């Protein structure tokens, strides 16, 4: 089985945004999803986090519905999203999928508040599943718009020794060390683990060159997975 979507994460200030829609159209609208890292403190300062002016341009494109984007929320912006306040909560509804990148600590995050935020969002909300966040996955009730991304390396781009089987309820994606050079082999292993359950994959470090988003690598990955 092939992935139903590939999230190519890390669109940055150097990315030619006008190239994204033609690439997505070539590979079918749903397959190519462009991940946008959002941070209140890193935006425009860290190469992986686009500036707010670039994010504004992406929000406009997302609103047109011709290019598929996912907003990956990091740092204190996660707290704002859960509370339904701030700049991130104002722009998040335009994105069909939103991912929350944080380490769950019940002392700082209430699972009930996270569940309420997921229900409130008009699209899909993704939480990461790993050893740290497993208690959150277990605590959340079944929510039709909740999905889970397996990422045992906590966003460090390291491949797992074994790809996990899907969870019983949330739709699941896979991340961790995926790159064009080994993607065909990794997809075979992920497909074996997933069985007949649909899945998506997320690539970040593997589609960068000199710490800049590399559209050529993205196209190579899409060709392999399509």
| Rounded Cα distance, 191 and 207, in Å | 21
Q: What is the pLDDT of residue 108?
A: 86
Confidence band, pLDDT 50/70/90 cuts, at residue 88: very high
pTM attached to this predicted model: 0.95
What is the model's pLDDT at position 18? Answer: 97
Average pLDDT over residues 105-111: 90
Mean pLDDT of the chain: 94
Strands 208-209 and 124-129: unpaired
Domain count, the chain: 1
Name, in order, each residue with C-beta under 8 angstroms of 194's C-beta and a sequence gap of 6 or more.
Answer: 1, 165, 166, 172, 174
Q: At 43, which CATH number?
A: 3.20.20.70
The residue segments making up the domain with residue 144 are 5-225
What is the DSSP code (8-state) at residue 164?
P
195: left (phi over 0), alpha (psi -120 to 50) or beta: left
d(CA 134, CA 37): 23
Residue 1's nearest CA partner among 218, 199, 209 is 199
Q: What is the mean pLDDT of residues 41-55?
A: 97
pLDDT at 153: 64
Q: What is the pLDDT of residues 172-198, one digit of tens each?
A: 999 999 999 999 999 999 999 999 999
- pLDDT given for residue 96 in this prediction: 96
Average the pLDDT over 98-104 and give the result.
96
CA dihedral 182, 169, 104, 32 (to 10 degrees): 40
Residue 152: the pLDDT is 74
pLDDT, average across residues 34-57? 97
Give the count of alpha carbons within 13 A of 221, CB side only. 32
pLDDT in tens, 122-161: 999 999 999 899 999 999 999 999 999 998 765 555 677 7
């Amino acid at each position: 089985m092939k992935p139903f979507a590939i999230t190519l994460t890390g669109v940055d200030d150097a990315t030619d945004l006008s190239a994204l829609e033609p690439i997505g159209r070539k590979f079918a609208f749903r397959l190519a999803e462009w991940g946008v890292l959002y941070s209140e403190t890193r935006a425009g300062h860290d190469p992986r986090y686009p500036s707010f002016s670039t994010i504004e341009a992406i929000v406009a494109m997302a609103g047109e519905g011709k290019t598929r984007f996912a907003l990956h929320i990091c740092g204190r912006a996660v707290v704002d999203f859960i509370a339904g306040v701030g700049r991130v909560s104002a722009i998040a509804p335009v994105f069909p999928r939103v991912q929350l990148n944080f380490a769950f600590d019940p002392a700082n995050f209430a699972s009930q508040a996270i569940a309420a935020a997921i229900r409130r969002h008009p699209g899909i909300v993704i939480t990461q599943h790993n050893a740290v966040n497993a208690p959150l996955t277990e605590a959340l009730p079944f929510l039709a718009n909740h999905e889970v991304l397996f990422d045992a390396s906590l966003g460090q781009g390291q491949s797992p020794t074994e790809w996990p089987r899907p969870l019983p309820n949330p739709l699941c994606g896979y991340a961790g060390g995926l790159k064009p050079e080994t993607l065909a082999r990794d997809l075979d292993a992920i497909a074996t683990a997933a069985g007949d359950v649909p899945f998506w994959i997320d690539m970040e470090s593997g589609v960068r060159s000199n710490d800049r988003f590399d559209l050529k690598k993205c196209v190579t990955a899409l060709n392999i997975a399509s």
